[in-house]
Amino acid sequence: MPESSDPSAIADVTSSRATAPPQTWDPSAFEGLDYYAIDELLSDEARTIRDEVRAFMTAEVSPIIEEHAENETFPDHLIPDFAGLGLLGPKVPEEYGGGGHDSIVYGLMMQEVERIDSGLRSFCSVTGSLVMYPIWKYGSEEQKQRWLPSLAAGEAIGCFGLTEPYVGSNPSDMRTTARRDGDSFIIDGHKRWSTNASIADVAVIWAKTEDDTIRGFLVETDRDGVSTPTIDDTLSLRAAVTSEVVLDNVRIPAGNILSEVSGLKGPLSCLNQARYGICWGAIGAAMACFDVAQQHVTNREQFGRKIGGFQLVQERIVEMVQEITKAQLLNWRLGTLMTAGTVRPQQVSLAKRNNCRVALDVARSARQLLGGNGVTKMYPVMRHMANLESVVTYEGTHEIHTLIVGRDVTGENAFT
Ligand code: TGC
Ligand code: FAD
């Protein structure tokens, strides 16, 4: 029986309409979390670009993202805006249509995109780091001219095929093959978990040639033998496109090979770029969850006072501030090393490992502070949490990054 003697409360209980308290979060009130004044370490240009992306994502994307995630649709109408904001290929030189920015700017951009949704950051990461980067770094001048300006403008879309149904953490065991046949290569294989593939014009496919060497190939997706079935049963990154790439006797011109790299270091060097973007992006998601939690605890009352006044609540909030701040400092330092060109892949791994875990912990803690309403779509926290389950897995799982750093520190290989 309802405890209230108010007849309208009884009516609410007996009606079929659920009642919820007012939302305690205003997305437009986001101010960022900068406990250690890291803003002072940024250039004016970096701050300006970050603020521009932040404003766009808050005004244009935040209001629509929940619906896209629910309906499992990618908001492709945003692609021209993303291109206009320079989110597609921020580090690629301007002569090829990219932004020519340094790594700090790239990181801040990914932070602001993922603050709204990891799937949209995925779209940007794949375009810039996994498709444009290898074409720019390892492609011919003709390949660069053909693809980079249109990818930067969002007129062409790309995807990256490394993972296969039976090969994920250990890509050196890949089964996809590329056989030379006169002026062509014939590609056979099956890639799984390829972000963007069903909407892509070009796929960067990693395959083994007859001498067992891993090489990269540009495969136009309208070629005979290419199909890209969507993986549509995911509970994570639902506003992004994830697909398979099936390559059945696909003939491509020999000139489609990325001629300037061979071996596993080809795809892994692209992953360094994308993993770096994830380090910043994941903390964007964490900042969003913290913001929701902070607003909630300063609004919601229980036991006659704001829940932010309880010591156990403050401990959660302080833990979030502490871990996000440490991760932000890690990102800033990583960005300066990356810009200087002295970063080591193992340093990227340490930050990817740390920051994904921090983001997941923050999301789970924020959800806890929201109480029951935290499991509803009133708040973005469950969506971030579900997204982050992919983010902690792709681009190298938490365990793989542990082993990368472990090997670096001890000199012992624990992979096999
Ligand atoms: P290993 O012997 O360590 O290395 C083989 C060669 O590669 C070089 N290398 C690297 N080069 C550049 N960057 C790196 N990070 C590199 N790591 C290694 C290395 O120097 C060596 O070169 P060389 O010249 O001596 O031949 O190779 P391994 O077989 O022991 O494997 C290492 C391991 C397990 C760490 C690697 O396979 C790995 O990182 N596995 C994880 C796979 C992964 O991350 N897959 C990601 C798929 S793409 C994706 O998830 C996109 S999600 C996109 C989105 O939506 O955002
Ligand atoms: P597995 O490698 O089978 O691993 C399963 C479990 O075993 C993991 O917990 C792993 O950590 C653990 N494990 C494996 N080896 C070891 C070991 N030596 N020691 C300890 N533990 C170990 N790939 C692409 O190529 N392109 C993309 O665009 C892309 N996009 C993706 C998008 C999404 C949404 C997802 C979920 C994945 C995407 N991936 C993509 C694939 C992603 O990179 C792989 O899922 C990831 O590398 C892990 O591979 P796997 O799923 O085969 O898991």
Any idea what the CATH number is for the domain that residue 197 is in?
2.40.110.10
Q: Phi first, then psi: what are they for 139, rounded to 5°?
A: -90, 170
Q: Give the range of the structural domain holding residue 207, as residue numbers without chain letter.
A: 158-256
Which tens digit of pLDDT belongs to each residue from 316-359? 999 999 999 999 999 999 999 999 999 999 999 999 999 999 99
Please say if the pLDDT value at position 12 is more than 60.
no
Identify whether residues 116 and 52 lie together within a single domain: yes
CA of 397 to the centre of ligand 1 (A): 12
Question: Considering its fold, how many domains does the chain have in total?
Answer: 3
- 22 in any annotated domain: no
- CB of 163 within 6 A of ligand 1: the answer is yes
Pocket test for ligand 1, best of 169, 268, 395 (most atoms within 8 A of CB): 268
Q: What is residue 89's predicted lDDT score, i.e. its pLDDT?
A: 97
Q: Is 394 in the pocket of ligand 2 (CB under 6 A)?
A: yes
Q: Is residue 10 part of a domain?
A: no
> Residue 297 falls within a domain, yes or no?
yes
Instruction: Based on the fold, state whether residues 215 and 136 are members of the same structural domain.
Output: no
pLDDT at 5: 45
Instruction: Note whether 393 and 288 are same-domain residues.
Output: yes
Percentage of the residues of the chain whose pLDDT score is greater than 90: 94
Q: Are residues 294 and 397 in the same domain?
A: yes
State the pLDDT at residue 81: 98
Atom number of ligand 1 nearest to Cα 237: 55
- 15 confidence band (pLDDT: 50, 70, 90): low
Average the pLDDT over 154-181 and give the result. Answer: 98
Residue 16 lies in a domain: no
Distance 406 CA to ligand 2 centre (A): 18
CA 257, 260, 266 angle in degrees (round to 5)?
Answer: 85
Confidence label for 9 from pLDDT (cuts 50, 70 and 90): very low
Last residue of a domain, one of 152, 169, 195: 152
Residues with catalytic roles: 395
Confidence of residue 408 (pLDDT cuts 50, 70, 90): very high
Q: Is the pLDDT of residue 4 over 60?
A: no
Q: What is the CATH number of the domain that holds 291?
A: 1.20.140.10
In sequence order, the 6+-apart residues with CB closer than 8 A to the CB of 39 are: 47
Which of 224, 256, 288 is the last residue in one of the domains?
256
Query: Residue written as tokens 């990356």?
Result: 338
Predicted confidence band at 20 (pLDDT cuts at 50, 70, 90)? confident
Mean pLDDT of the chain: 95
Distance CA 244, CA 164 (A): 9
Q: Which of 104, 134, 152 is the last residue of a domain?
A: 152
Please tell me if the CB atom of residue 239 comes closer than 6 angstroms to any atom of ligand 1. no
Q: How many CB atoms lie within 10 A of CB 32?
A: 16
Q: Which long-range contacts (CB under 8 A, 24 or more apart) does 295-298 make?
A: 295/24, 295/25, 295/26, 295/29, 296/24, 296/25, 296/369, 296/370, 297/369
282 phi and psi angles, rounded to 5 deg: -60, -35
Average pLDDT over residues 27-40: 94
Are residues 280 and 392 part of one domain?
yes
Q: Is residue 11 part of a domain?
A: no
Residue 3 is assigned to a structural domain of this protein: no
302 C-beta closer than 6 A to ligand 1: no
